[in-house]
Structure formats: structure tokens, C-alpha cells
Chain A
Amino acid sequence: MSQFQRSLRFSRSFSLRLRRLYLGVIWKGDELIDGASQTIHMLRSKGKKLVFVTNNSWKSRSQYAEKFKSLGISVSQDEIFSSSFAAAMYLKVNSFPPQNKVYVIGGDGILDELQLAGFTAFGGPGDADKTIDWKQNSIFEHDKSVGAVVVGIDPKINYYKLQYGTLCIRENPGCLFIATNRDAVGHMTASQEWPGAGCMVAAICGSTQKEPVVVGKPSTFMMEFLLKKFNLSCSKMCMVGDRLDTDILFGQNAGCKTLLVLSGCTTQSDLQDPSNNIQPDYYASKISDMLDLLEA
């Protein structure tokens, strides 16, 4: 376990840095973490490639780019990998037939990315107000051409969506069940924790008795996609995050360097607790330490 300052030499050789997008690394709620903007600027000036990876599927990449812009940081959507984008890429990489439809239990972020990738997707927030006729002789219909159900965080979850997704997976032959991620907690507001995608995904697991393909962290799908896209090797990459069991594990599973920042949900005592066995290569209090240490 080495302190960041001693190993700064290694960091200079990295051509790519992977950053955990939201709470705890770049921003907390709607506020930028101290020094994040200057650090990003410094890394860019040194020719480092920056990528921002998030499990939050609520927004699309272009919506995340807008959020960065509103916080005064210039990030292009090509540098952002949200789990909503990952779901669309998974279907593309696996040659999902364009004539098959995709049913979405989640937000506009997923619908937008699927549509951008050329797929016919429906459901999402539009199904939030749908009701069911409970009479004995009525039938709940579902589209037989749905070939995949994508499930992500959905604060507008209801029985209609659960039933629609369940029927597609159980009755449409070969229908895929894709989860953007399985985080138990989502950060819908900064003041408390909220049920994450893991909740909606588990609901569908419960009614279909099937396990999903997970495209978000800590699954390595996004990493493999990135490596291929930027034609790089892991040895030239550093994953920066604030969660040991998703971010750091994600980086370790992929074989790249890992840097834990203590500006989010993990404290130094969590890291050094004898019960913790996930050890990143480096740790720092926040990303702007890179700036401070370089200038020192």
C-alpha cells in the first residue's frame, strides 16, 4: 500500500484515466468537489485521455455532458460511459436484430441511448401511469416482438411495468434480460439514500426466476468496450473511484491501476480496517491532490 506522492512517477506514464462520475469523485449532489475542475484541466494539458464511467442509467450521455457543462467543466459525451449507454452497446456488440424491440423499465437515459443506437425501444417513464383492468375475462397483452428487456433505476416503478417485463422474458422465446447495474442504492437526492437499480432488477429476477446480464460495474463489459474503443492496454490505465466494492474492484478485475479517493463514501478507517481486503494501488483525499502534489 503506497502513498500517492511516492508513486507519482508511475502516474505520469498513464495515458488514460478512468474516473467514477458522480457522487464522491467529481461532484457531490449538485456541487463540484473542490479542485476537480483544475485537476481535470491539468491532466488534459498533460495529454491524458479522460473517461467518465457511471452506473447511473437515469440520464443519457448527452444529458451528463450538460451536467458537466453546468458545473463549468468541458467534457464531451464521447468521454462519458453511463450504464444506459452500456446497455445499448451490449445489444450492438451482440448483433441484436434491429427488427426486435426493447422494453425498458427505467428512465429516458436508457430509451435515448437505445434509440440513438438504432433500436426500437419503448416503455420507460411513459408507462408510469398505466393501469390494469382486473376483470376476470380481460387479458394483459404484450408485444411478442420484444427481444430484450432492459432494467435500470426506476423511481416510477409500478405493477404494469413489472408484469410487462415479466411476460416478455417468460414468454418471448430467447428474450434477453439485461440489467444496467445492481447497485442497491441510487443517489436520487443528496440528503439520503434511495433504492437503486438493484431493487428493480431483483424484482424482475423474483418474477422470472432468471439472472440478468449486467452491463455496469463491477461487470467488465464497459472496460472491455473501452479498451477496444481506444485501442489501449490496461497497464496504461488508472481507475479513480470512491467505492471499494464497485470502482476499485472494477479496476482490479480489468487489471488496471487503481486510485481510491476519500472524498466520497469510503473513509481512511474503512480502507485500513482489518476486515477490508480490497486494496487499491494508491489512495488520496481527493483528485485535486494530484494537482497539489505535482506543484509541491
Chain B
Amino acid sequence: MLRCSSSIAVTAGVGVCHTQRLLCSLSLPLNYTFSHSLRNPLLSSNSAFLKWNRNINSKINRFRMATRALAQPLQNADELINSVETFIFDCDGVIWKGDSLIEGVPETLDMLRSKGKRLVFVTNNSTKSRKQYGKKFETLGLNVSAEEIFASSFAVAAYLKSIDFPKDKKVYVIGEDGILKELELAGYQYLGGPEDGGKKIELKPGFLMEHDEDVGAVVVGFDRYFNYYKIQYGTLCIRENPGCLFIATNRDAVTHLTDAQEWAGGGSMVGALSGSCQREPLVVGKPSTFMMDYLANEFGISKSQICMVGDRLDTDILFGQNGGCKTLLVLSGVTSLSTLQSPNNSIQPDFYTNKISDFLSLKAAAV
């Protein structure tokens, strides 16, 4: 419990007093073992613990509001660039919007690479695998390899690997193709996915829905083919298969599938399963630090040498803060300056700027 409280003190600081948001922000040890999940209070809906969480959260929130400085407009780009080894970029709203590249991105990435900086791309969007994202980057004329991309679909497979999820157990997927591809690559058996979107139920007297008792994990992510069949299947697995894990790729309320408007995001599907199972999921995507810990370990980088660049306060910036690295908010995506500066907002990145190509223009100005 002491470990939990110290990590809460470091990582808390959310604008919204949502219990699940605080749970999302706690990082998972890489050598986390399967059996621990049954004892870890963070993973069960322990209402006394959750109430304590909420109290601590609101106290720490007030403390953070008093002590964290307001975000500064980025002026000396050189100083920021020289102070870190690695840049982590969110994708939607930072690199592209829908299927269109944001102005100045290729030149900015080239400049950072020429200065020897490591570039990593972390996205909560689980619809594609990292390989499929690699293709998207290629189509947009950007030189980025699949190994530099960490989508939440990949994070699911990486998490299961990190806990030695047994290969004879199956994974039920409420989500899209990206998750299925990553599970397959990692050697896991799965059920569900988009195909279950066509399954109908006849709620007649005497009808009984069966489910596979070998399902050891239910993974929930953004799903355009969401339906009652999947909700019931996932619920039965979580409720009735002993030790079954409930994993969420992310809990983003809305996502930008098209650049014209917002779309109900993964937070909706995860909310549905959480509501029917009355359990909180293990979140592998931002703002949980799982992906940060994973890539820091993978590339041997220290978090103080990282700058997280994103367009969302409650996922990207919180992810960076929870991980203990520098944070830069860009206004080319979902967050406007007035949202950042609103009295209702308590998440303050270190810096903010219009778009990542400001690295180039601010550099030029500083010379």
C-alpha cells in the first residue's frame, strides 16, 4: 500500500476527479507476473481503496495546482532540443490530421534526426498495427520504421508478453484489426474482433450464450463494430473465467477519425464493459506509463532525457508528466490556447507551441 501511495503522490494531478483516470496513471512493473493481478488492489474494484484514491487525488490535485508552473510558450527551441536525447510524438493532431500531413512535419523530423535525436511515435489509436502505421507514414512521405512506432495495439501484446501470459490461453478482442495483427505477431490465440460485429442475438426464452472457458484476457479498444453480442461475450469471460484479465488499450473519450469532427473513442467501449462487469480495466495506453517504461527499457533511455510532444492534455501531457519527462503541447490538434489557459484546466505542460515545425522557425529566429 505504501508503494501505491508514493506512486500516487508522484503521478497524480489530473484535471478530472475520475477514479479510473488515476488508476490509468499508475505504471506497471515490467516483470509483473500474472498471479499478482489477483492480489493487486489497483486492479479490483475495491471501493474503499477507490474512495481513498479519490480523496488523495483531490488533495494532491490542489497541491499540484498550487506548485506546477503555468505552461510557457516555446521560445528557445534550441535549448529544449539540446536538453533531451529523445522526442516522443503523438500522431493524431501532431504529425497528421485524419489522412493529411501537418505543415512542416517532414523537415522538422529530418532536422531532429540530423541532430542525432531518437524519434519515437506513440499513439493510442489501436485500429492499426505498428506495421500498418509504418505504411501510413510511408504514404505521407515520412521516413519512419515500424520499430519506432508504439501503438496501443502493440502495447497490448507487449503487456501480455511482459506478464508471461500463457500461450495456451486465449484473448477475446473487442476492437479492430490492429489488435488482432499484433496478437498474432506475438503468438497469441485470439477470438472476436471485427468479425463478431456481424453476430446477432435472439433473446428468446431458453436461449443461452456460451463462451470459451479458455479465454484468459479480454482486450477492449476503439471499435466501430461494437454490439451487444461482444459486450455479453466479454462480460461472461471476465465474470466467469477465473483470473480473466480485463485490459483496455486506452480510455480516450473522443478520437479524430476524420479531421472534420470528433468521434466517440475507446473510452466509450471500455466504459460499457466496465459498466456491465463493475470492474476497472488495466490500461496500457496513455496516460498509463506502460508504453513509456517499455520503450525506455527497450532503447535504454533515461526519462529525464525525453520530451513528450502531444496535442491532448489528459493523455499525452499527463503521460509525459507521469513518466517524469519534459512535455510540449502543440495547438495543431484538439487543444486550443483557451482550453490550456482555462481556469478549469489543471494540466500544465512545460511548454506549448502552435505546431512542431515551430522548432525550425524558432531556431531560425534565435540565430
- A, B from the same assembly: yes
Q: Which residues of A contact B (CB under 8 A)?
A: 29-30, 132, 134, 136-140, 154-159, 162-163, 166-167, 170, 182, 184-185, 188-192, 194-196, 198-209
B268 at the interface (CB under 8 A from A): yes
Q: Which residues of B contact A (CB under 8 A)?
A: 16, 18, 98-99, 201, 203-209, 223-228, 231-232, 235, 251, 253-254, 257-265, 267-278
Contact B208 A192 (CB under 8 A): yes
- A198-B275, A206-B251 given; name 18 further pairs at CB < 8 Å: A138-B258, A140-B263, A157-B227, A159-B224, A162-B268, A184-B276, A185-B276, A190-B205, A191-B205, A195-B235, A195-B276, A201-B275, A202-B275, A204-B268, A205-B271, A206-B253, A206-B274, A207-B267
Docked Cα-Cα span, A162 to B201, in Å, equals 19
Query: What distance in Å separates the Cβ of B261 from its nearest Cβ neighbour in chain A?
Result: 6
Contact B275 A203 (CB under 8 A): yes
Taking CB atoms, residues of chain A closer than 8 Å to B99 are 136
Contact B204 A189 (CB under 8 A): yes
Query: What distance in Å separates the Cβ of A168 from its nearest Cβ neighbour in chain B?
Result: 11
Query: What distance in Å separates the Cβ of A210 from its nearest Cβ neighbour in chain B?
Result: 10
Docked Cα-Cα span, A204 to B267, in Å, equals 9
Taking CB atoms, residues of chain A closer than 8 Å to B203 are 155, 188-189, 194
Contact B277 A155 (CB under 8 A): no
Contact (A136, B275) CB under 8 Å given A166-B254, A189-B205: no
Query: What distance in Å separates the Cβ of A163 from its nearest Cβ neighbour in chain B?
Result: 5
Contact (A195, B262) CB under 8 Å given A182-B275, A188-B203, A206-B272: no
Taking CB atoms, residues of chain B closer than 8 Å to A185 are 276
Contact A206 B268 (CB under 8 A): yes
Taking CB atoms, residues of chain B closer than 8 Å to A184 are 275-278
8 Å CB contact of B226 from A136, A155, A157: A157
Docked Cα-Cα span, A40 to B263, in Å, equals 50
Docked Cα-Cα span, A203 to B204, in Å, equals 25
8 Å CB contact of B231 from A140, A157, A166: A157
Taking CB atoms, residues of chain B closer than 8 Å to A203 are 268-269, 271-272, 275
Contact (A159, B208) CB under 8 Å given A134-B257, A208-B253: no
Taking CB atoms, residues of chain A closer than 8 Å to B225 are 159
Query: What distance in Å separates the Cβ of A166 from its nearest Cβ neighbour in chain B?
Result: 4
Please give me the residue from chain B that is nearest to A209 by CB atom: B253
Please give me the residue from chain B that is nearest to A139 by CB atom: B260
Query: What distance in Å separates the Cβ of B342 from its nearest Cβ neighbour in chain A?
Result: 15
Please give me the residue from chain A that is nearest to B265 by CB atom: A207
Please give me the residue from chain B that is nearest to A205 by CB atom: B271
Contact A30 B267 (CB under 8 A): no
Query: What distance in Å separates the Cβ of B336 from its nearest Cβ neighbour in chain A?
Result: 15
Contact (A206, B267) CB under 8 Å given A189-B203, A190-B205, A199-B275: yes
Contact A140 B261 (CB under 8 A): yes
Query: What distance in Å separates the Cβ of A154 from its nearest Cβ neighbour in chain B?
Result: 8
Taking CB atoms, residues of chain A closer than 8 Å to B207 are 189, 191
Contact A155 B201 (CB under 8 A): yes
